[in-house]
Amino acid sequence: MDRMLVVIFPNETKAYEGKKALQQLDGEGSITLYAYAVLAKNADGTATVKQGDDVGPLGTLLGTSLGTLIGALGGPAGMAIGAAAGLGAGSAVDLDNARIGSDFIDDVQKFLLPSNVALIAEVEEDWTTPVDTRMEAIGGNVFRRALSEVKDTADDEDIAAMKADLAQLKAEHAKAQADRKAKLQDKINQLDAKIQAQLQKAKERHEAAQRKAQEKVKILKAKAEAVKAKAS
């Protein structure tokens, strides 16, 4: 099952120990580690994504559930990891892209206090004991949530409602007097722009999900080939 993990540690050293433990579990075959990052909460409420070698197998946070979760916890969503970057808290995020509920984010934020450091990872795991045992031994507090299915389209009900409003406005526009037509046309243009933006957003989300799925397949194939080579 694909899950998002957030493990909160009292300091950065412990968080890197946790990251190493996740990599070991991945190497042992207990989990599949897709992407990860270390996020430090600063005293002023901002957050910093730590550099080092903390780019997970997917290589970038751009457009991923992990990137969106980082945005929700204290920085611009979907940033690519480069040099250590200070992130401002309170940025708007797309929870559909995060594929987790806002309640999970709220639970994590209660424990991600200033000076604490979070190890955030997207993994596939069949059972929770391997991760929990290793993280608890290091002093980590584990939060996890199964990832929901990615929405391939925009919210159909919202789109249908907006299209119904648009049809009504166009009908009124066709019958309106000249002095009213301009105002109605302005409303038509605004609503049509909203519809197109919603459809574009859905398209981009779908394309990002497809790219990510392809990258996951590559990771799994590489692991399978490594196991086969080791056995031969």
Give pLDDT, residue 149: 56
Lookup: tokens for 33: 């580690």
Q: How far apart are CA 121 and CA 22, in angstroms?
A: 9
The DSSP string of 15-75 is HHHHHHHHHHHHHHTSEEEEEEEEEEEPTTS-EEE--TT---TT---TTSHHHHHHHHHHS
Q: Where are the domains of the chain?
A: 2-146, 156-231
Place of tokens 């398209």: 203
Q: pTM (2 decimals)?
A: 0.65
Give pLDDT, residue 52: 42
> What's the sign of the alpha-carbon dihedral 25, 27, 30, 33?
positive
The burial class, CB within 10 Å (0-12 / 13-18 / 19+), for 214 is exposed
Residue-wise pLDDT for 64-110, tens only, equals 677 777 777 765 433 433 333 333 333 344 555 566 777 788 888 88
Bridge-partner residues for 33, per DSSP?
Answer: 123
| Residues sharing a CB contact under 8 Å with residue 52, sequence separation 6 or more, in sequence order | 16, 38
Give pLDDT, residue 105: 84
| Residues sharing a CB contact under 8 Å with residue 9, sequence separation 6 or more, in sequence order | 15, 17, 18, 116, 117, 118, 119, 138, 139, 140, 141
Give pLDDT, residue 86: 36
Residue-wise pLDDT for 176-228, tens only, equals 888 888 889 998 999 899 888 878 877 777 777 677 777 777 877 887 787 77
